[in-house]
Amino acid sequence: MIKKIEGIVLTETPYGDNSKIINVLTADLGLIGLMCKGAKSLRNPLRTKTVRFTYAAFHIDYKEGKLSKLLDVDIIDNFKNIRNDIELISYATYITELTYQVYKQNNDNEIYELYKKSLIKINNNLNPLIITNILELKYLDYLGVGLNLNGCIKCGNKSNIVTIDPDVGGYICNKCYIKEKILSNKTIIMIRRYYLINIDTISKININEEIVREIDEFLNKYYERYTGLYLKSKDFIRKLNYL
Ligand SMILES: [Zn+2]
């Protein structure tokens, strides 16, 4: 069946001498595999339209549950700002790999929307680390290890929160506090805002660098401990931020 569907390329794998297979996360059909005949050869117009994080309308010959055939591609946004900046490419690569892993564990349609909005915001030059962290926080729910940000993780107390701890995965109040690392009050508040914000509505970001770093460190530790995901592309971003 011939269809035209909106989606973003998550992975590309060479196939034979001059073809490739791509995985596209789509708005309506979930994750689909597409055979792109000839798309590896230099003169083929599909070559540049089937690379990672291409956001487009894909004309396909759809076969449910099987590899479908790519016929043509209409680019919606080629994320020019991202592709011209090596640092932004590494962020986009990381969130693309992360999205693939998250979707494999939970086929929720909302994942596509969150991922798409994040790419758009990074392409619009909003702080890529902050956008990445917001997406990471939101993805935790889909990975089944969402943070409880409604009160102290140990006793439920909603006031006198003194820190947030990646080892227990939530807030700790002054009564339950033992010797966890104290994070700044602003970090404690911002993590909740990151979690609740609608990515669409972000137009300007103004957060102190130290807060940004504390939140990133918190998320790195939490991801390591609870998600079981290891992505090489994240190491590269860490190096960018902690040289
Ligand atoms: Zn408590």
- Look up the CATH number of the domain holding residue 23: 2.40.50.140
pTM for this model (two decimals) = 0.94
What is the 158 CA–ligand 1 centroid distance (Å)?
A: 8
Is the per-residue pLDDT at 201 higher than 70? yes
Query: Which sign, positive or negative, has the C-alpha torsion 170, 171, 175, 177?
Result: positive
Task: State the Cα–Cα distance between residues 211 and 219, nearest whole angstrom.
Answer: 12
For position 65, what pLDDT does the model report?
87
Expressed as residue numbers, the domain containing 167 is: 86-241
Same domain, 101 and 184: yes
Ion ligand 1 — residues with CB under 5 Å? 152, 154-155, 157, 173, 176
- Cα 48 off chain centre by: 22
Over range 158-162, report the average pLDDT: 94
**CATH number for the domain that contains residue 146:** 1.20.1440.120
Tokens 């889909």 found at: 142
Same domain, 56 and 159: no
Same domain, 66 and 136: no
**Band (208; pLDDT cuts 50, 70, 90):** very high
What is the 146 CA–ligand 1 centroid distance (Å)?
A: 19
Same domain, 104 and 215: yes
**In terms of Cα–Cα distance, which of 149, 141, 130, 147 is closest to 189?**
149
Number of domains in the chain: 2
Task: State the Cα–Cα distance between residues 178 and 173, nearest whole angstrom.
Answer: 10
**Which residue among 78, 99, 126 closes a domain?**
78
Burial of residue 157 (CB within 10 Å: 0-12, 13-18, 19+) is middle
Is the per-residue pLDDT at 27 higher than 80? yes
